[in-house]
Structure 1
Amino acid sequence: MLSVEVTSLGTFGATANDTVTVTIQDINDNYPTFSSSHYEATIQENMPAGIPITFTTQPVHVEDLDQGDNAKLSLTLDSYSSTYFEIAPSTVQGSANLLIRVKDNTILDYEQRHSITLTVWANETSTRERNSASTTIQLNITNQNDNIPNFTASEYSASVREASVQEGSSVSTSVITVKAIDYDLPNFGFVSYALRGGDGMFSIDSSGLVTVASYQLDRETKSVYYISVEATDPGGLKDTAQLTVNITDVNDNPPVFRRDYDGYLKENETSFSKPIIVSVSLPNASSLRKLV
């Protein structure tokens, strides 16, 4: 600041100067603002607590252009989201990029929901006005192979109507349908089936239908098959069940004499000099013997 003395004759006399400091006090004339009104993020289902969500757009940035106490902000999530997520930092002076972390992962189930909308609030904490602002985050949950296929039964027992097959049955004859359920959504929820055991006599298709695969089913050779059935999903998770297939008998074998027979009968005699015992073999039955 400059001061100049002016005489009565209108001339300038002595001068003096000094420095004056003007302090401009801040007023609360700026609202908190986010860099965007909406953000996109992703996270895998079942991610554990402490893992941050991944933003696919820009990070969440908040700022308040005021100074001092007028720029102190509290960051919170809406009441629903705060049960499952937490925000960091929770307080901001002026500006900051925000981080959202998992607190409770029970909500991260792709089979129940594909996305969640979170609302973030920025509130002034030390002003009379308590100005605030909000933004939303659409959090998309990505599918993971987190469900194991499960058969509807651990054992599929033979029965006359379902799992009993006649010997000599033609190829593609239906035996039984087994079922495994995988609660994952596509593509992890698809189940493929395979048979272990059965001597190649049976096959199974993608629906779980077991059919005859060979013309050589012979009850006289083998009357029952014990088979392990596997259900596998695209991620390699699997379950097994036991299948018993009984082969029922049909009358497909004639009786067979054991050997040729001869004997002697004298004339005028009513019995053989040496008795002849005729023996007939019946499949799966005791031999029949007849004294002649």
Structure 2
Amino acid sequence: MENKEGTMERLALLFFLFLFPSLVTAQVSYSIPEESPKGSLIGNIARDLGLDSKRLFSGNARIFTGDNTDYVDLKRERGVLIVKDKIDRELLCGQTTPCALHFQVILENPMEFYTVAVEIVDINDNAPLFEKSDMTFKISESAVIGAKFLLERAVDPDVGTNGLQSYFLSKTEHFALKLKDQPDGEKIVEMVLQKPLDREKQEELFLVLTAVDGGEPQLTGTVKIHVTVLDANDNAPVFTKPLYKATIPENAAKGTVVTRVSASDADKGLNSKILYSISTTIADIRDLFKMNESNGDLILADSIDYEKARYYQIHVQASDEGGLTDSCKVTVDVTDINDNKPVINIISQINVIPEDSKPETIVTMVNVQDLDSGENGKVHCAINEQIPFTLKLATDGFFNLVTESRLDREIGSGYNITVICSDEGVPSLSSSVTLTLQVSDVNDNCTCI
């Protein structure tokens, strides 16, 4: 689990530390399985960064996460990183891969910081799950060979080979299982009629659909299928297109019609009546969207947030009175609006500085985060003018406030330094913080007799 950077990388890091002792931005990475027990070793951070335990103590080494997520602990006496609390990869990253924690190790006297990435490796800790325990179909005995019936898909929060892999239908002479791969990796699951139904011979069928993942050991989930055989329905609904695309802003109001889907049925009377429904099994989608079952309107049911999800896939089903179905997919892109101010975090600061401090001495380290994306998330920071300090970008999102020239307590004994950070959204949003710094006296004036 420990970092395995080569000797050349270590030498390069030490050379960097030698040239720039007051500003260090080296990076080290590790990987651990999710659900690792509390106290599990992540890596020897002191060794991998070329530091000794004395420096960790003298520099008051600590971890800065920025988002207050506290999964990792730094043991200064051993110079190691350990798991502070169990990490659930699915809770942390959902379906996003790779999944990693990003944080900084901060030291003082002098101020330094190092960037650390810990990849959270998926384990097969979730079985495929169907939202419902059973599915019911009412199918006409006149349904033609090849008629398709959309089945509910299972959900598996695991990723890669640990995720959902395939389905199996219990043995039956009337139906076969058909899986259709989608470009996004999902599968549409359909039950296809293989042999005509005869209501006089069998009014009901009971089947089981099993979903399996690819983990070791392999995990499964099941759902019961109940088929009731009805009289005379010749034609299934057909959607006008297999894919509908829509775009909505993240501040769209509840009740907004996202898009309308449409299907037709060549039957007459009750058998031509179509009902629309969402067949997606992901709970979040059912909470955020609803379907007008009569006209096919997909409606926003709750507030959406671009920073939580930028894209949704919604599977919609059209059903007629005879139980025949067709399916389509709706993709919804969420567009960002500038609804987040930059957040300024003071990660290290000194309150008093000697007046003989050298130029480029770091007095404060600042981290700035903006949850918006694109131009809305681009942030620029500045400080008030006419003071002997300047703000320099250290690395993405990190700024160092440094002395620009030598200080003179007789000219300025203290400073109130205002840091203002603004994004590039329209209108622009900004935040500010004021730092107070005192200049301590050094006996540099003498009275000559």
Q: Does the CA contact (< 8 Å) of 1:37 and 1:135 recur in 2? A: yes
**2:108 maps to what in 1?**
none
Structure 1 position 211 matched with structure 2 position 406: no
**1:91 maps to what in 2?**
294
Q: Secondary structure at the match of 1:208?
A: strand
Query: What is the CA-CA distance between 1:144 and the residue it aligns to?
Result: 2.7
* Equivalent residue letter for 2:246: A
**1:33 maps to what in 2?**
238
Query: What is the CA-CA distance between 1:163 and the residue it aligns to?
Result: 4.2
Q: Percent identity?
A: 30
Q: Deviations over 1:244-274 (max 9, x none)?
A: 11112112111267xxxxxxxxxxxxxxxxx
Q: Deviations over 1:99-156 (max 9, x none)?
A: 3221112xx333332311111111113xxx3212211112222233222212225xx9
Structure 1 position 166 matched with structure 2 position 354: yes
**1:5 maps to what in 2?**
none
**2:431 maps to what in 1?**
239
**2:420 maps to what in 1?**
230
What RMSD over aligned residues (CA atoms) do the two structures have, in Å?
2.5
Distance 1:221 1:200 in 2: 11
**1:201 maps to what in 2?**
388
Greater relative CO (CA pairs within 8 A, separation 6+): 1
Q: Does the CA contact (< 8 Å) of 1:49 and 1:103 recur in 2? A: yes
The normalised TM-score by structure 1 is: 0.63
Alignment: residue pair count: 209
**1:11 maps to what in 2?**
none
- Gap runs ≥5 in structure 2: 1-231
Q: Secondary structure at the match of 1:188?
A: helix
**1:73 maps to what in 2?**
274
* Equivalent residue letter for 2:241: S
Q: Deviations over 1:41-75 (max 9, x none)?
A: 22222422022225xxxx62211122221211111
* Equivalent residue letter for 1:241: V
* Equivalent residue letter for 1:91: S
**1:51 maps to what in 2?**
256
Q: Does the CA contact (< 8 Å) of 1:117 and 1:136 recur in 2? A: yes
* Equivalent residue letter for 2:444: D
Distance 1:190 1:246 in 2: 32
- CA spacing shift, 1:176–1:82, aligned 2, 3 Å: closer
Q: Which moved more, 1:71-80 or 1:236-245?
A: 71-80
From 305, 311, 317, the counterpart of 1:115: 311
Distance 2:255 2:435 in 1: 45
- Gap runs ≥5 in structure 1: 1-26, 93-97, 258-292
Q: Secondary structure at the match of 1:146?
A: coil
Structure showing the higher helix proportion among its residues: 2
Larger Rg: 1
